[in-house]
A and B are shown apart, each in its own frame.
Chain A
Amino acid sequence: MTRAPTKSTDSAVRRTNSGVGRVLVAVYAIFALAATARASVQLLTRFDEAPVAYLLSALAGLIYIVATITLARGTRASRRVALVAIIIELVGVVSIGTLSVVDPAAFPRATVWSIYGIGYGFVPLVLPILGLVWLWHTRAH
């Protein structure tokens, strides 16, 4: 209803914040909240226990915030930023996930990305893939 007036011709870039994209933004927003809140608690109350894991938690939160805002804006410039953020997110969840399996002591279930996001129903692993598929699907023709 209050959608920004855009010409949705085939040559125009399709908006990432419309249709099913709104669901993606909603899920990203929840993870932005969850990861940021979790990292804040960790950093404020027990930073010295596992500084690396907690800083990675904060990075994850930041990436979710950037992805949420850029996907919600849905402009040409914002989708470029979204692409970078989501690629970092995918690399992050795969590498932290793998590290946490190989060396559990280093990541005592401390980040949203531990064991590929098992604490969040593996949504953290699926989300960047859906994000990339959505960016591909809404690309300019």
Chain B
Amino acid sequence: MIDALAYVVVALAGVATIWGVVTAVANKPPGKAQLLFAAGVEVVTVAQSIIAAAKLAAGFRPAELATTIGYLIGIVILIPIAWLWANAERNRFSGIVLAVAALAVLAMTLRLLVLWTPAS
């Protein structure tokens, strides 16, 4: 984990969450820009998990190793699944589905920041 990158993920996921709610309120399905933005959030999230995995491989040991690994894997599957689910039936609720996934990515990244403390 890199703190600055984690906060970038939090900020991007926050924007994706709000964006999803905004299109839902406007009663529109997510547009192309919104879907591309979600893909961008996913790319940064994957980068974060790869960097964290590299640090684990290099010997860093967080206090809750198994939980940390679970979070690093789980966090990267949320947006792809939500993307497919949101596009299978495109309406205002597609935006909420993307927002739910983005909010989960945000929450999991904040949790990862807490988990990322060395074992004493």
Contact = CB atoms under 8 A, between A and B. Distances in A.
Q: Do A and B come from one complex?
A: yes
Contacts of A38: 67, 70
B34 interface: no
A29 B81 contact: yes
Interface in A1-50: 1-3, 18-20, 22-23, 25-27, 29-30, 33-34, 37-38, 40-41, 44-45
A22 to B, nearest CB: 5
Contact of B74 (A1, A18, A37): A37
Contacts of B90: 1
Nearest to B90: A1
Q: Chain A's interface: helix, strand, loop or mixed, by majority?
A: helix
Interface residues of A, number: 21
A3 to B, nearest CB: 5
A23 B93 contact: yes
A17 to B, nearest CB: 8
A23 B66 contact: no
B85 A26 contact: yes
Interface of B: 66-67, 70, 74, 77-78, 81-82, 85-91, 93-94, 96-97, 100-101, 104
B103 to A, nearest CB: 9
Interface of A: 1-3, 18-20, 22-23, 25-27, 29-30, 33-34, 37-38, 40-41, 44-45
Contact of A23 (B78, B88, B100): B100
A30 B78 contact: yes
Given A41-B66, A41-B67, A22 B89 contact: yes
Contacts of B70: 37-38, 40-41
Given A3-B88, A3-B89, A26 B101 contact: yes
Contacts of B87: 1
A37 B88 CA distance: 26
